[in-house]
């Protein structure tokens, strides 16, 4: 059955980027449906795919649409999965060859913890440094709460790279779900010229050097929609 990934604006939607990057990295075919956010018809269009009313949502099944009221298997045997981390978990199970999590139990535990920390945390960074592919790279004045979160992210990247550098350039050596979760943050660090330290800068270069990231960023820059809430 076919896969359909419903996403928001590429310029702004960091949550949409995460499963999109995972699919692209592993060469998994999918149909992309882009629904611009904060428009009069946004909620009704998303409701055709997801009961959550939010993007992203992954639909697997013929036709690519899921009734908004359904929380169960679709009538055609397919499924609808919403929330970035849930989608990534589903893809890792659906395509075990992707090795979504590290192999060693202790490494999997750490990777899951870091992914969950990103999923639930860093509210100050999200508030003051929105993802914006079109924004020219430049620093801005930030409150102390943001600097604390910047330091924590830098520590995560430094610790992972020190521990797993021999396995490759990603957080756990090879590309995992953890990298998909932190990819939009790497873009934020570059956009707002945030201090990641030497190891963090190397990791940011790895993320932004990925061909799929370049594709997403260029697509975001070409979008015409402007969401003022995410602009300075």
Domain residue ranges of the chain, discontinuous segments joined by +: 3-98, 105-218
Order of all β-strands in the sheet with 57-60: 31-34, 3-7, 57-60, 79-82
The helix/strand/coil state of 161 is helix
For position 144, what pLDDT does the model report?
A: 98
What CATH topology corresponds to 105-218? Glutathione S-transferase Yfyf (Class Pi); Chain A, domain 2 (1.20.1050)
Please indicate, yes or no, whether the overall pTM of this predicted structure exceeds 0.95: no
Span 80-106, pLDDT tens digits = 999 999 999 999 999 999 999 999 999
Residue among 204, 202, 180 nearest 192 (CA)? 204
Q: Residue 224 burial by CB count (10 A; 0-12/13-18/19+): exposed, middle or buried?
A: exposed
For position 231, what pLDDT does the model report?
A: 81
Average pLDDT on 13-26 reads 98
Give me 134's structure tokens. 């079109």
Beta strands in 53-209 (DSSP E): 57-60, 79-82
Span 169-227, pLDDT tens digits = 999 999 999 999 999 999 999 999 999 999 999 999 999 999 999 999 999 999 998 87
Provide the pLDDT confidence category of residue 77 given band limits of 50, 70 and 90.
low
Please provide the CATH number assigned to the domain covering 3-98. 3.40.30.10
Q: Taking the CA of residue 145 as centre, how many other CA atoms within 13 Å lie in the half-sphere pointing to its CB?
A: 9
- Alpha-carbon distance of 208 to 154, in angstroms, equals 16
For position 65, what pLDDT does the model report?
A: 52
Output the CA torsion sign for 22, 26, 32, 34. positive
Q: Most distant CA pair in the chain: distance in Å?
A: 52
User: In this structure, are strands 79-82 and 57-60 parallel, antiparallel, or unpaired?
Assistant: antiparallel
Higher pLDDT, 175 or 71: 175
Q: Residue 162 burial by CB count (10 A; 0-12/13-18/19+): exposed, middle or buried?
A: exposed
Residue 136 pLDDT exceeds 50: yes
Contact 88, 177 (CB under 8 A): yes
Residue 148 pLDDT exceeds 90: yes
Output the CA torsion sign for 172, 105, 101, 114. negative
Residue among 64, 69, 186, 66 nearest 137 (CA)? 186
């Amino acid at each position: 059955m076919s896969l359909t990934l419903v996403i928001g604006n590429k310029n702004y939607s960091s949550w949409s980027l995460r499963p999109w990057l995972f699919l692209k990295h592993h060469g998994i075919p999918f149909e992309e449906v882009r629904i611009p956010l904060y428009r009069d018809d946004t909620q009704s269009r998303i409701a055709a795919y997801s009961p959550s009313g939010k993007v992203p949502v992954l639909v697997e099944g013929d036709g690519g649409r899921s009734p908004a009221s359904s929380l169960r298997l679709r009538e055609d045997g397919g499924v609808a999965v919403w929330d970035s981390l849930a989608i990534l978990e589903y893809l890792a199970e659906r395509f075990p060859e992707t090795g979504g999590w590290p192999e060693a139990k202790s490494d999997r535990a750490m990777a899951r913890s870091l992914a969950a920390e990103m999923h639930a945390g860093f509210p100050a960074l999200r508030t003051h440094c929105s993802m914006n592919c079109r924004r020219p790279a430049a620093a801005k004045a930030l409150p102390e709460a943001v600097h604390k979160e910047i330091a924590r992210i830098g520590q995560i990247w430094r610790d992972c790279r020190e521990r797993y550098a021999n396995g490759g350039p990603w957080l756990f050596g090879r590309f995992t779900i953890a990298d998909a979760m932190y990819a939009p943050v790497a873009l934020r660090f570059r956009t707002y010229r945030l201090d990641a330290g030497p190891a963090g800068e190397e990791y940011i270069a790895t993320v932004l050097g990925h061909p799929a990231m370049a594709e997403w960023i260029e697509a975001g820059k070409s979008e015409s929609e402007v969401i003022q809430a995410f602009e300075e």
